Structure 1
């Protein structure tokens, strides 16, 4: 893992810090089923805190660190949070045990069976944000299908320019940890050019971001053509979180010779469809086991070519 400052956290270092965080959280009474709110900015410490909570089989309530204090307070009450880990509380000030004594963490077996493994929040565009409860198994199975579709490799270097507290960012962090490779952490004060340069130093291969970030990226390429040339190692420029406009997609392809790989997902169900490098059409086809239909206003399936309401069936569906 590479920090926003460019510092390298080797696997042994991460494992040692994980063991320390697990020890501290366990002393605080965190164990199976404990509802813990994680509300920090993107950082290597955020990643360690998440993995430590997963190891302890906690129910992780993920909240954007930019949420207003009043909103976080409502979320704490609504989700019945027993403890909060945030930047204002200093995170988990964990001792760093020697690598030799570091436990093999995280163990995801118990967390995978938890029905309320993670609680994330809807965007609130159609009302107040709602807490979306998903099981560990639904999350992990959906990510396994996603990683297979996108062809992730153990030597990939990931740069998700996304908030880790949201479904999209969380999925990339977990795909990195479960599948191997290097995660380049993009923090709230990180300059995009410096994050990309750090990624280049380590062989950056996977970038994920929202369309707005790609607008900024193209403007950056116009100012820094050498940076664009250095990013030829990237084999997958992925986009999601908002509709991808045709003009942006065309502009990116004209500038780089590569396609933006669009995806479609939802907080309530995880990834639904992904376009891989081998088939960069639209937002891709549904993942295996995911059924997508178009229905009319009465809930009846419509024939091909008709507009209606999109209906998705998936084992990744929320539990509540």
Structure 2
């Protein structure tokens, strides 16, 4: 029985050692090869004196070393922290410092760009580079190991019981934007990850014969899930760092891909492309936002033999609902029912359950509920609260995730998304804090004050609008501000050029003294309607 997240790799290697586990470019890695790499990474980390529970960050593009580092850290009893490769050095340094990372696995070029920011990471001691003979970055006093230090470790010497861990222990921390600006680390246990993989593999009917194309970041719970579900069933994953949507179509054909997961903006683009006749895709999945009905219909037309699974999830509970392909026509706009081994409730503000078709907050309970936010009891207490409707005789409360999302349930139990109660912006599947953007914009020194908010966008889900107060709007060059944003922020967090508005007076406030983003959004919409 697999109880720890890395167990599935070793079990697949025992069962089908020669089966394909990973592909990256021309490189191929069997389950026996992958198990050996994971064991060698675990041995190396133990040799470095990393105690169980120590955080190990992985900051690199998708490649075989990335996967080996994450699962090797878990096998060593450590906690892996996948970092989005799109993040800028200051953002990466914040994550490393926030969860006290001791060892960072990265590449030589990324280390060189990170070096100036690593002074803010006092707990970081060691860097493991993905290249065989790479050297350390000048100007850092960190111990630097090349990948040949991993391959030098004899995998056969690995003892999985040396670091005694159970399924309730931490396995990973995934960072996602927080409503107050600073990213928050969602702590996941081995039980969370294993239960999530089992649930998803079950309702998708994932098979050992499946070939999964990994196009989503592995720092994204949806992207990480493709690895955990594949390894559970002994399926194969093709790692891809794509440039254009057409590259994905070509890769599906050349690698005979049967499973593809993406977020709505990417599906919008893929739905406009020509797909080869007799496409190998058995099913596709969507999460990270609602897929527009027109995109669903376009994909059904282009991929007539491919099943479409629409899903809803949040990092704090990984996945909550799915809509079976058979219900697409009958229930347009539905986010489906609860996934196996989870209960999804619709709750009033007083904690009582809503009636049919009555809007309420989505509350998720079950084995997938995360352990909370790293080192943040206040925000943890806001989002992780006792599950409603529990028996009064139970002295210890069961914690559930209160999502902040408003939904309704119809008479047959199918859920429909209504809206969010917070101010988070969702672009291309990424949840983005407006205050995180605002703090970066104001740090440029070019503006006096700034407010960011999301506006509906047919391709991205939402686009980022920015209203900034500047001393002289007529003399200010918005291109200079956007250039600074591109230098300091990943592309998905940069405001849309046509949605940047400059003004000389202060920004409006609500009664609590906070920036009134709702009013700014309404003003922007009104002005857009009045513009010929």
Within the alignment, does 1:63 sit opposite 2:83 as a pair? yes
Give the aligned partner of residue 284 of structure 2. 237
* Structure possessing the higher relative contact order (Cα contacts under 8 Å, 6 or more residues apart): 1
Give the aligned partner of residue 317 of structure 1. 369
Residues 255 and 303 from structure 1, CA distance in 2 versus in 1: closer, same or farther, beyond 3 angstroms? same
Q: Which runs of 5+ in 1 are unaligned?
A: 222-226
Give the aligned partner of residue 220 of structure 1. 273
Give the aligned partner of residue 274 of structure 1. 322
Q: Is the 8 A contact 2:313 2:321 kept in 1?
A: yes
The 5 A counterparts of 1:1-320 are: 1-87=21-107, 88-89=110-111, 90-91=129-130, 93-95=147-149, 102-103=155-156, 112-124=166-178, 127-187=181-241, 189-221=242-274, 227-231=275-279, 233-257=280-304, 258-277=306-325, 279-280=327-328, 282-320=334-372
Q: Is the 8 A contact 2:193 2:228 kept in 1?
A: no
What's the CA shift for 1:146?
1.3
Distance 1:21 1:27 in 2: 10
Distance 1:83 1:302 in 2: 47
Superposed CA deviations along residues 163-208 of structure 1, whole A, max 9, x for unmatched, are 0111111111111122212101012x45544444444344321110
Q: Is the 8 A contact 1:15 1:103 kept in 2?
A: no
1:271 aligns to what SS in structure 2?
coil
Residues 97 and 293 from structure 1, CA distance in 2 versus in 1: closer, same or farther, beyond 3 angstroms? closer
TM score, norm. by length of structure 1: 0.86
Distance 1:77 1:93 in 2: 24
What's the CA shift for 1:4?
4.2
Q: Which runs of 5+ in 2 are unaligned?
A: 1-20, 112-128, 131-145, 373-532
Q: Is the 8 A contact 2:37 2:151 kept in 1?
A: yes
2:218 aligns to what SS in structure 1?
coil
Q: Point out the more displaced range, 298-307 or 281-290.
A: 281-290
Distance 1:267 1:106 in 2: 32
What's the CA shift for 1:14?
2.5
TM score, norm. by length of structure 2: 0.54
Distance 1:106 1:154 in 2: 27
Higher strand share: 2
Residues 49 and 96 from structure 1, CA distance in 2 versus in 1: closer, same or farther, beyond 3 angstroms? closer
Give the aligned partner of residue 9 of structure 2. none
Residues 205 and 302 from structure 1, CA distance in 2 versus in 1: closer, same or farther, beyond 3 angstroms? same
